Amino acid sequence: MMFAAAAIATLVTMVLTVYRAIKGPTVYDRILAVNVFGTLTVVLISVHGFLTGRPEFLDLALVYALINFIGTIAVSKYVEYSHMGRPSGGDELGDI
């Protein structure tokens, strides 16, 4: 019963986020909305795994969290710099 409530709350928030993804006047609104949609998908998959009694879905949720992160970084880099990996010529390896 509680899982159903959790799933419904997640779905409601997803709808709100998609509204922003469609309407957002700037491209950054849309990227933000897609990122949040991804996090909500992770929650939804986990709750669905509990609803159906198949906790193997959690691997899928973890992968999706990872992919969401990499995708948002890639899109932000593309939007900011208009390139995906401008080659630079042999500078020092490894800082930090």
Partner 1 sequence: MSLMVFMAVIGFAVARLRNLFGVVMLTGIFSLTSAVLYVVLDAVDVAFTEAAVGAGIATVLMLGTLALTTSEEKTVSDNKPLLALLLVTITGAVLIYGTLDMPYYGDPTAPIHHHVAPRYLMDSAYETGLPNVVTSVLASYRGYDTLGEVFVIFTAAAGVLLIIGRPQRGRRRARRDAQWDIEHGIRKNVILRVVSKLLLPMILLFALYVQWHGDFGPGGGFQAGVIFASGFILYALIFDVDLARAVVAPRVSRFFLALGVLLYGGVGVVGALLGGNYLDYSVLARVPTDGQHLGILLVELGVGLTVAAAMITIFFTFASQER
Partner 2 sequence: MEMLLDAVSWLLILIGSAFLVVGGIGIVRLPDVFARMHGAGIIDTVGTCAMLLGLMVQAGFTIVTIKLVLIVVFILFTSPTATHALARAALGGGARPQVADSPADADAGEGDSPSKT
Rounded to whole angstroms, how far apart are CA atoms 54 and 43? 15
Q: Which residue among 22, 41, 52, 68 contacts partner 2 (CB under 8 A)?
A: 68
**CB 59: neighbour CB atoms within 10 A?**
11
List 21, 32, 39, 50, residue binding partner 1 (CB under 8 A): 21
First to last CA, the chain: 49
- Tokens 């490894």 locate to 94
* Alpha helices (H) along the chain: 2-23, 27-52, 57-81
Torsion angle of C-alpha atoms 36, 71, 43, 19, degrees rounded to 10 = 30
Q: Which residues bind partner 2 (CB under 8 A)?
A: 2-3, 5-6, 9-10, 12-13, 16-17, 19-20, 25-29, 31-33, 35-36, 39-40, 42-43, 46-47, 50, 55, 58-59, 61-62, 65-66, 68-69, 72-73, 76-77, 79-80
Q: Which residues bind partner 1 (CB under 8 A)?
A: 21, 27, 30-31, 34, 37-38, 41, 44-45, 48, 52, 54, 56-57, 59-60, 62-64, 66-67, 70-71, 73-75, 77-78, 80-91, 93, 96
